[in-house]
Every structure is written in structure tokens, then in C-alpha cells.
């Protein structure tokens, strides 16, 4: 089973108190879930960003008689399922290529706020939401990844429903309406819990109407990476899944396309 051999070192980096044998068993018996959207002309981007472009170099049978295909693509760093590197909003912090692998792999807590967020497109996830999760599931473990499920993944890639507007350009930014993480919660997390990354199923860790992107500033100043436009969070349990989130390794980048997957322990 070559895939076990390849992925096992990533698990061992972040397995914490679990034994190597337990981690290996988790890999072998677990179910893999893709948390990434594909990239295409339907990929959702910030209104001011360049979208995904995919051009054919060649597709067909060559003069030499063999089949060949190749393509060029062009896209902004921040769009679709992607990484926010800490340097995106914090000078001197990790760029995309500098983030240690142990910050991109690890156990995850999935906090479901969809009942509130789907009723209020400007909902900001607060401390009470995390405390409610902890009351039901126990205190967040150290070095945990937190994934917030707002339910907005059900709207992707319909930009009007997902972002609040399908318009493009600078004027469209004021029309964005989607949930995010309240800056008060960001402050509480960095002061009271030890987290390694945050992610959610919307376009930004700050809610759509944010003007100062304070949540970005608070989290990224602490070198906590962000995962945005994460897919299929409804398929993950509240706890027990293991995340592997590997971005395109752009030297000096402030983010990049992200292939993020989860392993959920088998029954």
C-alpha cells in the first residue's frame, strides 16, 4: 500500500501523544475525504482578483503519431480552496513556502455554526460558539486545527449566494455578505487556546462586511495559517479527523491554491 508509506511521515509529524502504531492503523482503516474544490472557470474569487484561466497548449495526436496534451493556467493566489499564509496580513511572518509541515497537518475540530450563519449572512462566529462545542466535546486540544462549518459550502460556486454578490471590481466589495470569525474570538483563541490553523467554508476568515480584516491581522500575527473556501465540511465529525493541507509552494507567496484532505477514522 504505497499511499500509506507516503503519507505516514506527515501523520507522525503531528500525531502528538498517539503511538506510531495507532496512527498507522488510523491511516489504513480511515476514510479519505477531499475538502478541496476543483479549479475551473466557475471557481469563486474575490471580486477584485483575477479568475482562473486555463488555455490549451496542445491536445491531440502529434506529427510523431503519439497522443499528447498540455495546458497553461493563470490565477490569483487567493481564490477557490486556498491557503492564506500569515504574511498575507502580518509583515515578516511566514510566507507560503515557509510554513512548517506540522502547521499544515494535524487533528481537527469541526465547529458547526450553520444554524446561525444560514439565517444571518453577516454572522460572526463568537466565543460562545466555541464554548458550546467544548461543552459537548471537551476542551480543544493543544495544536488543534479548527474548521468552522457555516453551511455556505452548499452555495458554492454560485457567487451571488456564496459571496452575496456576483459583481466584479472594487465597487462589488461593499456588497459582500457572508459569515466569518469575529475578531473577539480570534483574540480569545490566541490568548486561551493553542491552535495551529483555522479554516472555514467561506471566502474569508473575516466576514464579508469587514473593512479592517482584523481577524486576519490577529491570527496571522501569531503565524496561524488560514484555509478558505474549504469544501465538504458536512462530511467531517465534530472531532477525530486528521487534516493534510498542502498548498502550491510559491516562494515568497502570501497564499496559494490548496489541496486539503481529511482522514476520518473507520468504524
Could you report the per-residue pLDDT of 73-94, keeping only the tens digit for each? 999 999 999 999 999 999 999 9
Report the distance separating Cα 54 and Cα 73, nearest Å: 4
pLDDT at position 213 over 80? yes
Q: What is the reported pLDDT for 22?
A: 63
User: Is residue 110 one of the residues assigned to a domain?
Assistant: yes
Boundaries of domain holding 111: 2-50+77-264
Q: Is residue 15 part of a domain?
A: yes
Question: Is omega for the bond preceding 157 within 30 degrees of 0, making it cis?
Answer: yes
Q: What is the CATH number of the domain that holds 88?
A: 3.50.30.50
Read off the pLDDT of residues 114-123 as tens digits, 9 standing for 90 and up: 999 999 999 9
What's the confidence (pLDDT) of residue 244?
97
Q: Percent of the chain having pLDDT more than 90?
A: 88
- Which pLDDT belongs to residue 4? 46
| pLDDT tens-digit map of 89-147 | 999 999 999 999 999 999 999 999 999 999 999 999 999 999 999 999 999 999 999 99
Assess whether pLDDT exceeds 50 at residue 2. Answer: no
**C-alpha dist (Å) from residue 150 to 3, 158, 202, 241:** 32, 16, 8, 18
172 assigned to some structural domain: yes
With respect to residue 8, please indicate whether it lies within any of the assigned structural domains.
yes
In whole numbers, what is the pLDDT of the chain averaged over residues? 93
Residue among 83, 90, 81, 82 at smallest CA distance from 190: 90
Amino acid at each position: 500500500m504505497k499511499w500509506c508509506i507516503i503519507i505516514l511521515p506527515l501523520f507522525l509529524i503531528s500525531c502528538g501523544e498517539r503511538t506510531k502504531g495507532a496512527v498507522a492503523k488510523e491511516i489504513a482503516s480511515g476514510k479519505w475525504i477531499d475538502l478541496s474544490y476543483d479549479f475551473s472557470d466557475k471557481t469563486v474569487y474575490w471580486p477584485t482578483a483575477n479568475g482562473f484561466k486555463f488555455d490549451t497548449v496542445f491536445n491531440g495526436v502529434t506529427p510523431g503519431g503519439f497522443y499528447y496534451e498540455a495546458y497553461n493556467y493563470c490565477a490569483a493566489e487567493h481564490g477557490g480552496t486556498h491557503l492564506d499564509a500569515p504574511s498575507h496580513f502580518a509583515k515578516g511572518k511566514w510566507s507560503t513556502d515557509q510554513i512548517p509541515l506540522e502547521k499544515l497537518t494535524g487533528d481537527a475540530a469541526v465547529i458547526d455554526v450553520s444554524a446561525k450563519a444560514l439565517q444571518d449572512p453577516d454572522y460572526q462566529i463568537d466565543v460562545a460558539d466555541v464554548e458550546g462545542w467544548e461543552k459537548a466535546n471537551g476542551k480543544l486540544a493543544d495544536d488543534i486545527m479548527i474548521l468552522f462549518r457555516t453551511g455556505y459550502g452548499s452555495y458554492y460556486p454560485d457567487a451571488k449566494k456564496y459571496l452575496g454578490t456576483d459583481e466584479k471590481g472594487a465597487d462589488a466589495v461593499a456588497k459582500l455578505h457572508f459569515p466569518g470569525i469575529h475578531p473577539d474570538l480570534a483574540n480569545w483563541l490566541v490568548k486561551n487556546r493553542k491552535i495551529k490553523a483555522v479554516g472555514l467554508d467561506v471566502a474569508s476568515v473575516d466576514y464579508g462586511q469587514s473593512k479592517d480584516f482584523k481577524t486576519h491581522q490577529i491570527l496571522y500575527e501569531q503565524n496561524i495559517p488560514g484555509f478558505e473556501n474549504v469544501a465538504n465540511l458536512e462530511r467531517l465529525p465534530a472531532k477525530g479527523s486528521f487534516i493534510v493541507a498542502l498548498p502550491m509552494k510559491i516562494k515568497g507567496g502570501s497564499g496559494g491554491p490548496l489541496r486539503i484532505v481529511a482522514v476520518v477514522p473507520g468504524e
